[in-house]
Chain A
């Protein structure tokens, strides 16, 4: 589509930011992302500028400077871009005493408002902590008319179990069926966080569950050896040492849980034979 704006001069004001976003704004000018090829030049003073990049949650003290910088800009093309989560909504500091805040709510009920939008009308929000150069490029591209907006608000209604969805934004409840019981999955998942970290644990756990499933299917009478061989087979393909450590750990942990729950089951049944009807 045709580009509306060919040359936008940008002026950057730091309203008390942690300078993570300022560095990303400078990063966008560095050779790999080069904002200047889109015709956007960063200028040293608001008089020459058409657009205003604001970073930071608008601390009480920078409010004066931001207001003046905004007024010093020539009135006609005043585009204001809020770069970063702090500029979009006050970020992690949103209800601190040192931030300028005009909205009556002070606590958790103030989800949406915060940051420089209290004193300056903002045209474009680029959230991110800090937004990577690609995100800033995406925001600027939207401003120049190169890209379209992709985000859209969502409102889901989570239906209680056993109800079928009628409208399209209603979703029925589904616990994903896994070969191992839910409590095994939860315990293993929690312990994996300690062994391999929260990011890789999903994939490693899924692989392990498949192996357990195959072990129980292929040799129900002696699953332990079967699982052991399957895991060693898995190691032929998966060369990564940390994933191997995690798989061995999962295997031992799985059998420990298996024995413990079973023993607990017998103990309870022995101790309280009369269970029905109580």
Chain B
């Protein structure tokens, strides 16, 4: 394989972003001294690091050779002192128009000390790859978290992860021709080529029957396809093929929309945690433009985030109860949740897609009468949720179905870098609101709240984590209301600097949401990478499913509160091998039937 070493001779590295003196090239010493751990990393990989740069507050980039990539990622991921550091995701960019190279950039959420915003930071490991041979050594064999990340870059950009254990197609539809890579700059975002359907599956282990759960199945809200291999009632193995809601959001964001319109696209990535995406996108662009948004805007954003978290946890508890057949629980959970939806409809104008965000602040203000409405609803929610929890957690049939089911031990959670309540139920002490520097776009550093962590890791623990977080969110909303500062709610942003990169992140109710934005010319977004928490949680689901009953499958899958459209990479493959006969059993057998039934 061609290594950059022998390319060195005629390979004169200059990156256009740096050459116009724009990037913050403080000299290496000051950057390394800013945070613990950077210096050791620099010493460990001294000869491979070409450049070291601070992108924005708390985000550091190392340009290193691609051979050393796996060791560098593992160096960070299994760092002895920083226990909770995990590989967040990786960005693949086609920078051929800029400097004729491809970029593969994994980045990690380094946790020096839990819940300390000024110590923890992000590390980006940028590896340049020549245009003709975009390959890099894969780390997936040793680090399961990178399994999907590398398959995605292979699908969408044509990179070739050398040594990847199972390089099947992950994201693109079945009838997408080989060799066409949508996220490359030479492909127009509207071009949608067709080819004949080709399905690749894991073979069925002998002695098991196949229960196709998906693409449209009762147990899961949206299209995802779990092929359960069962012996009798017990699940032996699972082949997951998701990514049905892949709508080409990133390419549309780069293609048609300006940076302010991308906000509304970001909100429509996921119907439930839309506002988290729009805030993290806005945070990324504000970091790029070096803009300090007014305090009131930060408070209003935090307020809306917490309201969204409240109604989502209630929604999830309802869904979990419904999947176990306990429909009264579903009905009451959603009845309690309705006042929050009305409140939010009055605050922002829409029940779900708030549209409150603009790059540089917020679009609507919280007048006094709206504050009173908020406090009324918060009090009502607190009482009714307490009553609901007492009743729900005492129905022993519900407990019997939730306890000791779908256990996820801490070790696997850390290996798959599982995020959010699912991770907190397995003992991981992570919560992006306090871990990373969210103070530029949100006001979590000015409110105090606890982060609930449980050890058992089963479905019941996940229920309890979410309920505790619900009460914490109620307390945060009350604090925000009476600390709300005055001042403007928006700061107009002029033009964005060209070819700057930054990362925006929030803690959605499912886990850490990360938006990487790189700007191009004329206020357009050059590269926009979205990674939702379900992207990290879903690969861990097969681990949880093994050994439990088919009847538990929907509940276990729902216990990580999967948001397939959030993952935007969630797509499915159909068992059907392409032949369509009218209404024969075989055809009907393949179509596993969608549910949505409540009674």
- Which of A's residues lie within 8 Å of B, judged by CB? 10-27, 29-32, 36, 41-47, 53, 56-57, 59-62, 64-65, 68-69, 71-72, 91-93, 95-101, 106-107, 129-130, 132, 193-200, 239-243, 245
Contacts and interface: CB of A to CB of B under 8 A. Distances in A.
A107 B264 CA distance: 19
A99 B248 contact: yes
Nearest to B582: A71
B490 interface: yes
Interface of B: 173-176, 182, 187, 189-192, 197, 215-216, 218, 221-223, 243-249, 251-252, 256, 264-265, 268-272, 274, 315, 331-332, 334-335, 337-338, 341, 345, 349-353, 361-369, 486, 488-492, 563-565, 571-574, 576, 580, 582-583, 587-588, 590-591, 593-599
A57 B350 CA distance: 20
Given A62-B244, A93-B252, A194-B491, A14 B338 contact: no
Given A17-B245, A19-B565, A60-B192, A243 B367 contact: yes
The prevalent SS among residues of A at the interface is mixed
A95 B588 CA distance: 32
Given A23-B352, A31-B334, A194-B361, 18 more contacts: A12-B596, A16-B244, A17-B245, A17-B271, A18-B269, A26-B596, A56-B245, A61-B243, A64-B574, A68-B576, A69-B216, A72-B588, A93-B252, A97-B190, A97-B191, A198-B363, A242-B367, A245-B486
B367 A200 contact: yes
12 contacts: A12-B596, A15-B223, A19-B563, A25-B596, A32-B338, A44-B594, A96-B189, A96-B248, A97-B248, A130-B352, A194-B361, A198-B363
A60 B572 CA distance: 10
B248 A20 contact: no
Contacts of A60: 173, 175-176, 192
A132 B338 CA distance: 12
A31 B335 contact: yes
B334 A65 contact: no
A236 B389 CA distance: 46
Nearest to B217: A44
A128 to B, nearest CB: 9
Given A97-B189, A106-B190, A41 B367 contact: no
Contacts of B599: 36, 41-42
A118 to B, nearest CB: 12
B594 A95 contact: no
Contacts of B221: 14, 19, 22-23, 26
Nearest to A100: B192
B173 A29 contact: no
Q: Which one of A13, A27, A42, A59 has the greatest number of beta carbons of chain B within 10 Å?
A: A59
Given A36-B599, A65-B572, A98-B173, A18 B245 contact: yes
A20 to B, nearest CB: 2
A47 B593 contact: yes
The 8 closest A-B pairs by CB, nearest first: A20-B271, A45-B593, A44-B597, A96-B248, A12-B596, A98-B248, A30-B334, A60-B173
A239 B372 CA distance: 13
Nearest to A10: B596
A55 B412 CA distance: 35
Nearest to B563: A19
Contacts of B364: 197-200
Contacts of A72: 583, 588, 591, 593
A18 B572 contact: no
Contacts of A65: 215-216, 223, 244, 572, 574, 591, 594
Contacts of B215: 62, 65
Contacts of B248: 93, 96-99
Contact of B272 (A11, A19, A45): A19
A17 B580 CA distance: 25
A19 B271 contact: yes
B45 to A, nearest CB: 38
Given A11-B594, A68-B591, A17 B565 contact: yes
Nearest to B333: A30
Contacts of B270: 18-20
B363 A197 contact: yes
Contact of B268 (A12, A42, A129): A129
Given A29-B598, A59-B246, A20 B218 contact: no
Contacts of A101: 192
Contacts of B351: 24, 130, 132
Contacts of A200: 364-365, 367
A30 B273 CA distance: 20
A13 B338 contact: no
A198 B341 CA distance: 22
A199 B349 contact: yes
A195 B296 CA distance: 10
Contacts of B251: 96-97
A226 B248 CA distance: 59
Contact of B249 (A42, A96, A199): A96
A11 B591 contact: no
A196 B565 contact: no
A129 B392 CA distance: 32
Most buried by A among B218, B364, B591: B591
B571 A30 contact: no
Contacts of B190: 95-97, 106-107
A65 B563 CA distance: 19
B268 A59 contact: no
A14 B320 CA distance: 19
Contact of B488 (A62, A130, A194, A241): A194
Given A44-B218, A197-B362, A16 B591 contact: no
- Which of A19, A20, A93, A245 has its CB near the most chain B CB atoms (within 10 A)? A19
A139 B223 CA distance: 24
